[in-house]
Structure 1
């Protein structure tokens, strides 16, 4: 996935998009809604920053808040979208529900 993302490790929202868009470039209905909602929230955050004359770049924590607000926080010791066996301690700045 790193190679598909310009040599940079993808954030959680980008990882979700990369793993849920099929070869025909159209995700199924629930996933397309989630991807659209994530992109909309990210755009709104960037617009708010622009209005405050701040750089539009979002940090990992802000991106992970968007991810968690759309799909919920991680539970049961796993991390969705990062393969079997991935645990929150291995994925930086993942938000976990206790």
Structure 2
């Protein structure tokens, strides 16, 4: 059975999302962003204004959801990437080798 054959998939029958979908975060490429604001309107939990003309990823942004993926798809200059590391929450301490 498939969704296209008229069968309704109940939640217990719905497939699990791929593991990679649960571990991606949206990231704005600052050198590419032109400040269209589409991401701010589409996914405000993920993005915030940066200065007067650009956007940036919120430091408290959750894992990418459909709104973040929509923002990436709608960005006119493709400045939003989905990456496997969370946004930085502050200064990064140097690591010792």
When the two structures are superposed, what TM-score results if normalisation uses the length of structure 2? 0.28
When the two structures are superposed, what TM-score results if normalisation uses the length of structure 1? 0.28
More helix by share: 1
More strand by share: 2
By relative contact order (CA 8 Å, sep 6+), the higher-ranking structure is 2
Larger radius of gyration: 2
